[in-house]
Chain A
């Protein structure tokens, strides 16, 4: 078995072009078998969306502004959710540089959710209910989580691994742009870009390197999140 290359998977989110259209949200539900939560459970705060669009109102009428920030698991290098798991169900892949959730190990303490500053971990309060034929839509590459298990965005690890395996079998390196998570693939405005920061030529690296607009969420916590956001820009128009 040849040595597998180390990765630093990252997501770059251009807030200037995110239109809050929800294509990523539905694409993620479809790809990752994320259950839809009933109206009543949504009110209880149990809605599950591995990626969400946060909307922030700014200013007062009539100078109101709405800002959209898509938030998914930030795949922190020093993830606060990891050390609190008593059963090592939440842990780090050193090679892929991803924050993993091993479903069958999870005993549902929800400590990780409590310690997660980004609130991107979701708990299955019930068994997922894919009624009737809706079971047919399930992606066979992704485990369906049962009640009592924590889940979160995986950067579509099944797609990462499948692409890596294909490259391995074909005995060639993985190309930039070969791994496309479902949200990135759907995004009409291409606000989401995914890539390996270890690859100096990748589009993600190019976008992050020296970009004045980049920032990370709650960077001061020191969790080293691997999702970079690019602030909205300004047009050269005299207003």
Chain B
């Protein structure tokens, strides 16, 4: 009780009076005297015990869902979807809900720190003034050799400021790279869709063929695709959409599919081409489709594709019939293929199906990007893997004087083989702005912790907007928890001290800049009034202008694909490796949030751990049981993790979730599980990741799996063995 009193006193400065009472656990003996300590000055619009709601934008992934935060006595106690927001319509995924634990994470830095000796983890606090002085001098010393490495969830205004800053000091345009977008293949999807991420309106589709797209998991927007899926199954007049999923391991989307077809990893594009071919050859469906199929389908041999993919020719024929005969079929290219060496070709092969169906730009089809939005607002441009390679090479070559990392964690997100850590050692000055010390911050000299998104200003241009142009607003829903500065203000302050930059960023502070940027949306409305409405309602949106034309049907698209290359010799490495992004931890950024760590993964019910999914067929052959620790070795790296017997997985494939294996990133993430990204390879000079083959070796050790479902054979003795010293 005493300890709680002390901590309570500490946070009273930032929170409210009576509310603090709820902090003590409910059923203990009451103290005889309890003091009430009201605010000296109350937070704006707060009445003790009465909730206030503030609209903002979620930044747990790049989708840009609208949120409302419930504020009680100055504390944020719940995040919910913004019902007025056209993207997520009041709904919110698990990660969005967990945003409170970004804000109130116990491992947040309370101010800037300096690290003496990279990797030493000896962090010395320093004042903001000293930190800024140091930043200014180092940036000046680096001249134009400054690289800004940003995450995809950055607010548009901050991205804009970074761009302006970079261009003022003649540095290269900021790099935008994080694992979420890279693993989901954003750069390739954007390239294949006239410069924007595609939107699939499956809510009105009759038949959906998903080529490995786990759109109900951590894909482009799990909340919006969840809404679309609800509509897909409950269409008017009792119609229920039909979902076919092609993937080697059953994802959440696969579990909901009417037909789940476990094809060989990497054969997604081949199957799409076979279906197109069969529509042409069988004359399936209406004549216009057959004609388009004859023009567009690649000249492939269905028999050999059947063999390569593991889906029989008869099955492929039935699928072609199903796809061609319904009014609104839709094909969606997905995750695992977007990262493979022929990503662009595979996406094109899947899109050919939509072109044949003639559903591009139709309701229930693939939404075409709107005509030029005419907005000066910024949307971070996701960088390609080529650019990432280039920057790493420059760093390694000593051509980068300073690296500024914001909202990304490349030291965790890139395979060892990419050589990021080694290259970083050649950069004289590294600064990170992470609110919690992460793997990249451990390799940095200076950490300027940014405010979290629930304490910050900003906006997001939501693309795709599913038929609407959406600018989602972000505002602080609570006052800053610590005396941390927003990075936008840091940039503006720094630019005043650097002669070259001063002219490029003339704004007094972040809010002044944001107001000016958003002014263009106000139109004829009073700008002050527009600002107020914009913040209050969670953004600005309107139906989009006429869409762009359907993409040209070039003969390039008809080029037959060859099978995917996997790294490693088939004899030495007999299994395909299938990495997937779990819904909760996603690319690892959720690992610091106990709600996401401690909630069970749906298909395995495992929490807190990394596991290796093996088909029971394969496990029998290898002689391993559930909970046995195996070593997974690829040509690029290896890891050890316990086995989970996963019945819905190809026997020739091993699946491992991303997200764990942090060496830093706070108490909930640290030293927990393994990071399977190091099993991958980054193709030298190429555009994508190379997926390897792997080998499995039993280690003879066992681990206690933290499953929520019942387990046979877990005894107290075994638990004590698994958790020694506790």
How far apart are the CA atoms of A133 and B100 in the complex, in Å? 10
**Do residues A103 and B27 form an inter-chain contact, with CB atoms below 8 A?**
yes
A61 to B15, CA, bound (A): 55
B282 in the interface (beta carbon within 8 A): no
Say whether A237 contacts B79, CB under 8 Å.
no
**Inter-subunit contact A140/B91 (CB<8 Å):** no
* A49 B599 Cβ-Cβ under 8 A: yes
A132 interface hit (Cβ, 8 Å): yes
How long is the Cα–Cα vector from A185 to B651 in the complex, in angstroms?
39
Cβ 8 A contact of B94, one of A25, A127, A132, A145: A25
Task: Give 1 or 0 for each of A43-55: 1 = CB within 8 Å of chain B CB.
Answer: 1110101001111
Q: Per-position contact with A for B102-129: 1 when CB-CB < 8 Å, else 0?
A: 0111111000000000000000000000
Please state if A133 and B94 are interface contacts (CB–CB under 8 Å): no
Contact B608 A42 (CB under 8 A): yes
Contacts of B108 in A (CB 8 A): 133
Whether B648 sits at the interface, judged by CB under 8 Å, is yes
Contacts of A188 in B (CB 8 A): 88, 91-93, 222-227, 229-230
Chain B nearest Cβ from A192, distance in angstroms: 11
Partner of A57, one of B81, B225, B326, B648: B648
Asked if residues B599 and A19 are in contact (CB atoms below 8 Å), the reply is no
Asked if B23 is an interface residue, CB under 8 A from chain A, the answer is yes
Indicate whether A23 sits within 8 Å of B94 (C-beta atoms), given known contacts A39-B706, A132-B106, A134-B101.
yes
Given contacts A64-B250, A133-B108, A146-B28, are A19 and B256 in contact (CB under 8 A)? yes
A45 to B101, CA, bound (A): 25
Q: Does A211 contact B (CB under 8 A)?
A: no
Contact of A60 among B91, B95, B647, B726 (CB under 8 A): B647
Alpha-carbon distance A236/B207, docked complex (angstroms): 10
Indicate if A40 sits at the interface (CB-CB under 8 A): yes
Chain A binder among B419-427, B485-493, B534-542, B590-598: B590-598
Stretch at the interface among A28-36, A80-88, A219-227: A28-36
Whether B258 pairs with A140 at a CB distance below 8 angstroms is no
Expressed in whole angstroms, the Cα–Cα distance for A53 and B92 within the complex equals: 17
A140 to B90, CA, bound (A): 23
Partner of B602, one of A43, A53, A189: A53
CA distance A54 to B605 in the complex (A): 8
Q: Which residue of B lies closest to A189 (CB)?
A: B230
Q: Is B507 an interface residue (CB 8 A)?
A: no
B100 and A30 form a contact (CB under 8 A):
yes
CA distance A239 to B325 in the complex (A): 12
With contacts A30-B595, A39-B706, A239-B318 taken as known, whether A17 is within 8 angstroms of B227 at the C-beta atoms is: no
Is residue B584 within 8 Å, beta carbon to beta carbon, of the partner chain?
A: yes
Residue of A nearest to B227 (CB): A188
Residues of B within 8 A of A131 (CB): 106, 667
Q: Of B68-76, B134-142, B372-380, B465-473, which binds chain A?
A: B68-76
Contact between chains at A139 and B77 (CB < 8 Å) = yes
Select A66's contact among B224, B250, B594, beta carbons within 8 Å: B250
How far, in Å, is B69 (CB) from chain A's closest CB? 11
B5 CB within 8 Å of chain A: no
> A49 vs B608: C-alpha distance in the bound complex, in angstroms?
15
Chain A residues near B224: list those with CB within 8 A. 188
Any A CB within 8 A of the CB of B25:
yes
Q: What is the distance, in angstroms, from A21's C-beta to the closest C-beta of chain B?
A: 6
Please tell me if B679 contacts chain A, counting CB pairs below 8 Å.
no
Minimum CB distance partner of A129 in chain B:
B594
Q: How far is the CB of B6 from chain A (nearest CB, A)?
A: 12
Bound form: Cα–Cα A26–B96 in Å: 9
CB distance A236 to B607 under 8 Å?
A: no
Contact of B600 among A27, A52, A145, A186 (CB under 8 A): A52
In the complex, residue of chain A having the shortest beta-carbon distance to the beta carbon of B253 = A19
Any chain B CB within 8 A of the CB of A172?
no
User: Taking each of B223, B318, B716, which has the highest tally of chain A beta carbons within 10 Å of its own beta carbon?
Assistant: B223
Q: Are A186 and B708 in contact (CB under 8 A)?
A: no
A140-B22, A140-B77, A149-B27 given; A20·B647 CB < 8 A: no
Residue among B234, B241, B707 with max Cβ neighbours from chain A (10 Å): B234
- Within 8 Å CB of A140, what residues of B? 19, 21-22, 49, 72-73, 77
Q: Which of A36, A65, A238 contacts B260 (CB 8 A)?
A: A65
Does chain A have a CB within 8 A of B233? yes
Tell whether, in the assembled complex, residue A235 and residue B258 are in contact, meaning their CB atoms are under 8 Å apart: yes
- Asked if B15 and A136 make an inter-chain contact with CB atoms under 8 angstroms apart, the answer reads yes
Interface residues on A, range: 35 or more
CB neighbours (8 Å) of B651 from chain A are 61
Contact status A138-B92, CB under 8 Å: no
* A205 at the B interface (CB under 8 A): no
Closest approach, in angstroms, between the C-beta of A82 and any C-beta of chain B?
Answer: 20
On whether the beta carbons of A25 and B105 are closer than 8 Å, the reply is: no
Contact A21 B222 (CB under 8 A): yes
Given A43-B714, A103-B26, A133-B104: A21 in contact with B647 (beta carbons within 8 A): no
Contact across chains for A20 and B608 when beta carbons are under 8 A apart: no
Q: Within B614-664, which residues are at the interface with A (CB < 8 Å)?
A: 615-617, 647-648, 651
Residues of A within 8 A of B723 (CB): 39-40, 43
**Chain A residues closer than 8 Å to B253, beta-carbon distance:** 19
Contact of A146 among B26, B230, B714 (CB under 8 A): B26
Partner of A40, one of B90, B594, B719: B719
- From B27, B101, B230, B254, A137 is in contact (CB under 8 Å) with B101
Of B11, B77, B607, the residue contacting A133 (CB under 8 A) is B11
A201 to chain B, nearest CB (A): 20
Name the distance in Å between A119's Cβ and chain B's nearest Cβ. Answer: 10
Cβ of A157 under 8 Å from chain B: no
Is B566 on the interface with A (CB-CB < 8 A)? no
B26 near A145: Cβ-Cβ < 8 Å: yes
Does A64 lie within 8 Å of B648, measured CB to CB? yes
B722 at the interface (CB under 8 A from A): yes
| Residue among A39, A134, A143 making CB contact with B26, cutoff 8 Å | A143
Q: A26-B599, A43-B719, A146-B28 are in contact. Are A21 and B318 (CB under 8 A)?
A: no
Q: Are B615 and A61 in contact (CB under 8 A)?
A: yes
Taken together as a complex, chains A and B put the C-alpha atoms of A142 and B521 apart, in Å, by 41
Given A30-B100, A40-B719, A138-B23: A25 touches B599 (CB 8 Å cut-off)? yes
Q: Are A43 and B705 in contact (CB under 8 A)?
A: yes
Interface string of A181-211 (1 = CB under 8 A from B): 0100111111100000000000000000000
Interface code B186-217, partner A: CB below 8 Å = 1, 0 otherwise? Answer: 00000000000000000000010000000011
**CA–CA, A38 and B598, complex, Å:** 7
| B100 & A55 in contact (Cβ 8 Å cutoff) | no
Q: Which of A17, A39, A64, A145 contacts B233 (CB 8 A)?
A: A17
For B719, the closest partner residue in chain A by CB is: A43
Check B22–A104 contact: CB distance below 8 A: no
In angstroms, how far is the closest chain B Cβ from the Cβ of A108?
10
Partner pick for B229 among A19, A26, A62, CB 8 A cutoff: A19
14 contacts between A and B (CB under 8 A): A20-B603, A23-B96, A26-B596, A27-B94, A30-B595, A42-B707, A43-B704, A61-B648, A65-B255, A66-B255, A133-B106, A136-B104, A188-B229, A237-B322
**Chain A residues engaging chain B, CB cutoff 8 angstroms:** 14, 16-17, 19-23, 25-27, 29-31, 36-40, 42-45, 47, 49, 52-55, 57, 60-62, 64-68, 103-104, 106, 127-128, 131-140, 143-146, 149, 182, 185-191, 233-239
Known: A136-B104, A145-B25, A186-B81. 11 other contacts (CB 8 A): A21-B226, A26-B596, A30-B78, A30-B98, A36-B599, A39-B608, A61-B615, A188-B225, A188-B227, A235-B258, A236-B240
